Amino acid sequence: MEIIPGIHQVDGVNGNCYILVRDGLTVIDTGIPGSGKKILAYIREKLHRDPREIRTIILTHFHMDHTGGVAALKKAATGAKIAIGEADAGYISGKTPLPVYPGFRGVLLRIAGKLMKPGHFPPDILLKDGDRIDGLLCIHIPGHTPGSIGLLDDSTKTFFAGDILRYDGTVIAEGPAPFTMDPIGSHQSIRKISGLDFDLLLPGHGVPLLYGASEKVREYTWTLAPAA
């Protein structure tokens, strides 16, 4: 679906996949393994564009529900560059062992990883706080993962939040605690986001928050535990 002119969300992909349609195509996150087919079909059938126009695949963090479609997209668009936050690069390349998450959800995640086999791939671009890529400003927001990033599109006042925040159509919440590696760092990053100016919040899971998003994020920060 087209969220606003030039920004699309691919339906039926978990987690959320967004496509920026400009001179070329920029894909932000790629869903779980197997999602690549849906993303490519959307590009061909809804956008009426050639997947070879994909210029950049930007990953907000290393979790497999955001990186699972990379292999299929790279096969269709061999010239596309893969970009990720610098501190998460080792996880997608296989140089850094994946963290072991606690509890039953952690067990399910390990099983899913063995069944789905998201694979490893080398990133082409390592993003740092303040970098610009395809017209987007990279905001380093560690906590959920060490290299988690958000992307601010000044031209449309849109913030792509990855998993640091979620929105269910009614309330904002932080990303899932069982898979957040540094909860204190996550709260610090949410406060950092609250200082930005944007109208639209596009989270990694949930639905778009289309109006007054930065003010709602500021209101949400008031519910967080006081900073140490």
The terminus-to-terminus CA distance of the chain in angstroms comes to 41
Low-confidence ranges of the chain (pLDDT < 50): 115
Q: State pLDDT tens for residues 22-60.
A: 989 999 999 999 999 999 999 999 999 999 999 999 999
Query: Rounded to whole angstroms, how far apart are CA atoms 84 and 29?
Result: 10
Q: Which domains does the chain have, with CATH numbers?
A: 2-221 (3.60.15.10)
pTM: 0.93
Residue whose structure tokens are 């709602």: 216
DSSP per-residue string spanning 60-112: SSS-HHHHTTHHHHHHH-TTPEEEEEGGGHHHHHTSSPPP---HHHHHHHHHH
Chain centroid to Cα 7, Å, comes to 14
The SS3 assignment for 30 reads coil
The SS3 assignment for 147 reads coil
Q: State pLDDT tens for residues 183-199.
A: 999 999 999 999 999 99
